[in-house]
Amino acid sequence: MAEIYKNWKVILFVFFLFLSFAIIGFRGITFGIDFNGGTLFQIELAEPITNLDERARIVQTIQQRLDWTGLKDISVNFFGDDFVIVQVAESDPETIERIESLLKKQGVFESTIGGEIIFSGEDIIEMSKDPAKGYSLYNEGSGVRWVLPFVLKSTAAQRFTEMTFHKCDLVSYSTDVGREYECENTYFFIDRPKESILVMSKDVFFADEQLLLQGIQSEGIAEGTSIDDILLNSQVPYFLSEKDGLNEEQLASLEELVQEKTSAIIPASLPLSTQQQIIDLGFELRVLEDEQGMPFVFDAVGMRSIIGLGESVTQMDVANLADAEPMSKLQIFGSASTRESAIQRRGDLEILLQSGSLSVSVKSISKETVSPLLGENFLQDVALIGLVALFVVAIVLFIRYRILKLTLPIVLIGLSEVIITLALVSLISKFDLGAVAGLLAVVGTGVDHQIIITDELRRGVQEHAGSLVARAQRAFFIIMVAASTTIAAMLPIILIGFGLGRLVGFAITTTIGVLVGVLITRPAFGEIAKAILEKK
């Protein structure tokens, strides 16, 4: 019996058991939204989605956006045709605010000059995080400047070159400095409201105009920025109301526009009487809260950055457009008041560009906090039921085999299998209800397989029907076939499980548990059972 402790299969089992205790002890188990609580978002899409492929793309896009935030316990599922339910195991207010901001956006990225689109997010084929290519953060005045380099498709690079070629005017020349140019700006938008209009009071318009002319360094708004240029490049119709509301001419124009524009974006300060005029015409209101020190127009049109062209980009040293080199490697700049804010803004833009845009815009989004109390009670109940079940199994096994030394290893190996599986699952995923179900399935199959091993070995001892080694091999053949079938059933869920929610957690836990059983715990139990039965 002492030889069993020198068997490599038993040593491997003991090693993984102690390693699992170390993982759980030092790292702990990260519980998901079912047990720790979290936040549930309900996203209403602007139009119903009935095509299954399009639904899958929407779910995948949202999943990728949230995966970039570092979250693992994420559930994204359609509810009906025009609602998407997103659950995240996160309740930190700042993180939730950032997630909500990412979910609200359709994610359509566009760059314009003179009111015409130069390129869009679909034209970007690569974003580099290599500092040698310009990916950087640096202090600029009282703020922090961020840089995001990217590469355009060849067709988009050619279009960019043609539209920006010689978009600079020579303003001065000196022998000391050389030529000095004043170049046009390019405007970057996220979710430019193409199906909306803007309505604001003249007071808001003139206040925005002054803010933009003064510049806001922390927001990347350069001094001398023109509100007219922003509105021109946004291509969003806008109306300026008097104190007594919109005049007859404006109302007539709006009545025509309501046929093609569905919503009106307004500041919260717009008088209620003017808001009612807009509603009566058939527009849906989108109210933006007034943010101190920030121009209403900037956020209303989805403005993200304004970047001035340089003489090198506009290729002022080249005489003819035909000789110009296509500009494919470009950079997006932005500013923030702090380094942390700069990293977040650049990161949010990366997320949107990497995940791509949704095929439909988001109409509204609501959120609610999920209480962890139900999950905590459920976890306690599962643990209690599991212990009772193991106790009952132990009694049944003792009645069957009448050998206490054989009953105890079956129960202890079963418990060890749960601990090892739990530790390995906690390294790659959060523990949710699906994982609990998978763990219960692992326990059931584990005890079942140990009974198969025990019965084969007992038959070999009692009937002297072949060696115990041959009997053990026969038992393991049966177990391996059953395990292979289980893994084959779980792999499709793991590999293409977008939108399947907790089924993915169940599949991952079951697969890991089965592999732990056939590779670690079952071989060790086989050796222990052989030693006990040979002695018996």
Contact in structure between 295 and 227 (CB atoms under 8 Å): yes
State the average pLDDT over residues 243-265: 90
Residue with tokens 């079940």: 389
pLDDT tens digits, 260-278: 898 999 999 999 999 999 9
Q: Do domains 2-30+372-535 and 38-104 have the same CATH topology?
A: no
Please give the pLDDT value at position 2: 55
- Start-end of H helices in 402-467: 404-428, 433-463
Residue 464: the pLDDT is: 57
* CATH architecture designation of domain 2-30+372-535: Up-down Bundle (1.20)
Q: What is the pLDDT of residue 499?
A: 46
- How many helices (H) and strands (E) are present in the chain, helices listed first? 17, 18
455-510 residue pLDDT tens: 777 776 666 555 666 777 777 787 888 888 888 888 877 776 544 556 777 888 88
Domain 38-104, CATH number (from 3.30.70.3220, 3.30.420.40, 3.40.980.10, 3.90.1170.50): 3.30.70.3220
pTM of the model: 0.64
Cα-Cα end-to-end distance for the chain: 11
Mean pLDDT (whole number) for 159-166: 90
> How large is the average pLDDT for residues 155-169?
90
CA distance 375 to 355: 32
DSSP letters of 252-274?
Answer: HHHHHHTTT--EEEEETTS-HHH
pLDDT at position 501: 54
pLDDT at 498: 47
Q: Which of 3-7, 191-195, 283-287 has the lowest mean pLDDT?
A: 3-7
Of all residues in the chain, the percent with pLDDT exceeding 70 is 91
Q: What is the mean pLDDT of the chain?
A: 82
Residue 1, pLDDT score: 53
Most confident range, picked from 62-76, 147-161, 214-228, 330-344: 147-161
Say if strands 178-183 and 196-201 run parallel, antiparallel, or are unpaired.
unpaired
Q: Is the pLDDT of residue 90 over 90?
A: no
**Cα–Cα dist 245/242, whole Å:** 5
Q: What is the pLDDT of residue 373?
A: 61
pLDDT at 150 over 80: yes
Is the model's pLDDT at 59 over the cut of 60?
Answer: yes
Q: Angle at the Cα of 91 (from 88 to 92), degrees rounded to 5?
A: 125
Residue 500 tokens, joined: 């399947």
- The Cα 48–Cα 41 span in angstroms is 18
Residue (of 357, 332, 331) closest to 345 by Cα position:
332
Q: How far apart, in whole angstroms, are the C-alpha atoms of residue 394 and residue 442?
A: 17
Does residue 112 register a pLDDT over 90? yes
pLDDT given at position 463: 60
pLDDT at 376: 65
Q: Which two structure tokens, joined as six digits, stand for 258?
A: 């309501």
Q: Please give the average per-residue pLDDT across 27-51, as a whole number.
A: 81
| pLDDT above 50 for 350 | yes
Give the integer Cα–Cα distance in Å for 81 and 479.
Answer: 44
| All structural domains of the chain with their residue ranges | 2-30+372-535, 38-104, 109-241+289-349
Q: How many CA atoms lie within 13 A of 371 on its CB side?
A: 4
